[in-house]
Amino acid sequence: MHKYIQTILILFISVFMLTACDPAAGPSSNKNIRPSRGTNEVAQANLNLAIAYLKEGKYENALENLEKAKLADPGHSATYNVLGLLYQQINEPKKAEQNYKKAISLNSNDSSTMNNYGNFLCGQDRLEEALNTFSNAANNPLYATPEIALTNAGSCLYNNHKKSEAKEKFQEALQINPKVPQALIRMSEFALDDFNYLSARAYLQRFQEVSRHTARSLWLGIQIERELGDKDAVSSYALLLKNSFPDSDETAILLESKVK
């Protein structure tokens, strides 16, 4: 499954299902994913099932439950958001876009859908439209986490080889929330590219405080510490990389470089 969609579904399940079951649940990282108070239990139950099926790659089952959710509550924007994700995953871009637009038409304050739609547009090489969509999401005064939209915009710009503009978006995101893992890791990479090794280390240390290591972050740590001459840190990162991600591309590069 596409990494972006996998991440979105994990967030969707962890937030949506908890708040659907518990009206007294505390604030979440993305309030716009919550079901509306008027959504009936049948629609919510089917949407929950659809998300779980989609996460498992069971697209027919997911679609069946999404259709049931639509019948139970045709005005619930979250259903169309997930339909957009489903059709995006099975490479039906026209249907994906139709459902994202439907979700936004039902709830113009739904920054969760706007984020997903922005990523869809970026994947369709519609950069200007994607950036406008991310901007609308970030500028929504009701959106609790505008840093998500800014980080998504930064990633879109980076993937379109606009590194300077991407860096500005990541910096904006970190000004709002200094603990955004994706922005921190990217800023560490930028600093490494610019030969600012101490800054690169600092960003990576901040990343480590808020997120588990990945093969990417461990390899980044190796590169930074090699430049700073800290052999013990290099060895520590290398050991973690080989033990935790033995089949990763980063481990293959490490072994080829003969870093012990």
Please list the pLDDT of the chain residue by residue as tens digits (260 residues): 455 555 555 444 433 432 333 222 232 333 333 444 456 889 999 999 999 999 999 999 999 999 999 999 999 999 999 999 999 999 999 999 999 999 999 999 899 999 999 999 999 999 999 999 999 999 999 999 999 999 999 999 999 999 999 999 999 999 999 999 999 999 999 999 999 999 999 999 999 999 999 999 999 999 999 999 999 999 999 999 999 999 999 999 999 986 44
250 C-beta neighbours (distance < 10 Å), count: 18
212/232 Cα distance (integer angstroms): 20
Enter the tokens of residue 42.
């049948």
The domain locations on the chain are: 1-107
Q: What is the DSSP letter of 17?
A: I
Any idea which architecture 1-107 has in CATH? Alpha Horseshoe (1.25)
Q: What is the pLDDT of residue 169?
A: 98
The DSSP annotation for 55-114 comes to HTT-HHHHHHHHHHHHHH-TT-HHHHHHHHHHHHHTT-HHHHHHHHHHHHHH-TT-HHHH
Q: Is the pTM of this model over 0.75?
A: yes
